Amino acid sequence: MAERHCGDKPEKVVMVRYGELFLKSDPVKYHFIGLLLRNIRQALEAVGYTCRFESPRGRIFIFGDRPEEIAGIVSRVFGVVDTSVCTLVAAEPDALRDAGLALAQKNLHAPCRFAVRGKRQSKTGMNSQELGEYVGSAIYDAIPGLTVDLTHPDYELFVEARDCGGLVYDSRVPAPGGLPWGSQGKMLALLSSGIDSPVAAWLAMKRGCEVAYLHMDGGRWAGGDVRETAIENLRRLSLWCPGNPVQMVIANSEPFYDRMQELRIPPRFRCVLCKRFMLRAAGRLCGKEGAQAILTGENLGQVASQTLANLAVIADATTVPVLRPLITYDKAETITLARKIGTFMDKQGDLACRAVPKMPATAATLEAVRESEDKMGINGLLDTVLASVQYVTAENGKVPDKK
């Protein structure tokens, strides 16, 4: 940032903090910061904002017309820990004091316990604590009814004298953290109309993964709203990687269920067979999609197909690694997260699966399911189902076309 002098008109700037990237070696860190900057720029451009960026050591600064809105948008970018709208002044104690006092007079309402946190990069002049005390006493003198409380303050003001300028702020907008989207390769997520799989996909994105999607459309075996709800999940997930189209393959798996019925495959194996079929389809698509792992919303013990014994039998269907970020989550924890990230839908339509038996096997054996699959000619079925897939693309919360 251009050096600022006392008397310059204060300017607003959005300060972006990133966390874990600090732990990386320098080349990796710079690569990740480059990705983070790209993602931030894309998120802002997706809503029509053009901004100026600066990235001095350990922070990103964004200059633009609507700093509050910018902070809100950037607080949804993976890799960002939090953002603050700061007043930018000269990195001088008096300028910081004046700006700090002005902000406190606006937002601090006595009686109140308050703290001023100072930070100073330069080794000369006041140290960080002295700077905090200097600004704090000016506020204390100017506003009656205040108590200083450095341990449990109701109001915190931050003043930072950095090489690039003086910064004053009193709020931090929390962001998801994680790693920059696109820094960790690609996964193929099995996306359903349920609550779990969108949350699993979001968690993978949060750790930097690009995600492509596969939905198995059960046709008349699936509830009437399943397909559209899965597309709605995709649409909502696309809001988390703005500026990047996300694609979902939709495969018609009706022939699979029909074959199970025709051949009178024991209904208790249906759920395990169904999940194995999904993994087979996903495994085949991974190569085409450039994905290195399959992602599911499976969870230990949530439904009969998700006992540890069954999960082991299911995973045998593919050689591609199967990742299940929600394996240890309670349903309530998943729902809380789904609400927070905006994938939870209050209104649930007809999402029932018509193939679910009354008594699903909780410990299917590999021999039994393989025998059923041989009978069904599972590889031929897979060829049929994958021969005529459809594609749906979502971008920035919109599903422009359905091919």
Nearer to Mg ion, 93 or 198 (CB): 198
Nearer to Mg ion, 196 or 232 (CB): 196
Q: Indicate which of ligand ATP, Mg ion, none lies near residue 211 (CB less than 5 to 8 Å, by partner kind).
A: none
User: In the range 170-199, which residues lie near Mg ion by CB under 5 A?
Assistant: 196
Nearer to ligand ATP, 216 or 337 (CB): 216
Least distance CB 188 / Mg ion (angstroms): 17
Q: Indicate which of Mg ion, ligand ATP, none lies near residue 64 (CB less than 5 to 8 Å, by partner kind).
A: none
Q: Indicate which of Mg ion, ligand ATP, none lies near residue 280 (CB less than 5 to 8 Å, by partner kind).
A: none
Q: Indicate which of ligand ATP, Mg ion, none lies near residue 82 (CB less than 5 to 8 Å, by partner kind).
A: none
Q: State the Cα–Cα distance between residues 256 and 266, nearest whole angstrom.
A: 14
For residue 101, give the nearest of 151, 142, 65 by alpha carbon.
142
Q: Encoding tokens for residue 13? A: 């700037």
Q: Does 289 bind Mg ion (CB under 5 A)?
A: no
- CA triple 361-364-365, angle to 5 deg: 160
The string of DSSP codes covering 184-207 is: S-EEEEE--SSSHHHHHHHHHHHT
Least distance CB 251 / ligand ATP (angstroms): 8
Answer whether 343's CB lies under 8 Å from 233's CB.
yes
Nearer to ligand ATP, 162 or 324 (CB): 324
Q: Indicate which of ligand ATP, Mg ion, none lies near residue 278 (CB less than 5 to 8 Å, by partner kind).
A: ligand ATP
Could you list the residues that contact ligand ATP (CB under 6 A)?
190-192, 194-197, 214-216, 278, 296-298, 302-303
Answer whether 272's CB lies under 8 Å from 361's CB.
yes
Q: Encoding tokens for residue 397? A: 């919360």
Answer whether 201's CB lies under 8 Å from 211's CB.
yes
Nearer to ligand ATP, 97 or 215 (CB): 215
Least distance CB 204 / ligand ATP (angstroms): 11
CA dihedral 90, 95, 100, 102 (to 10 degrees): -110
DSSP state, residue 6: T
List residues binding Mg ion (CB under 5 A). 196
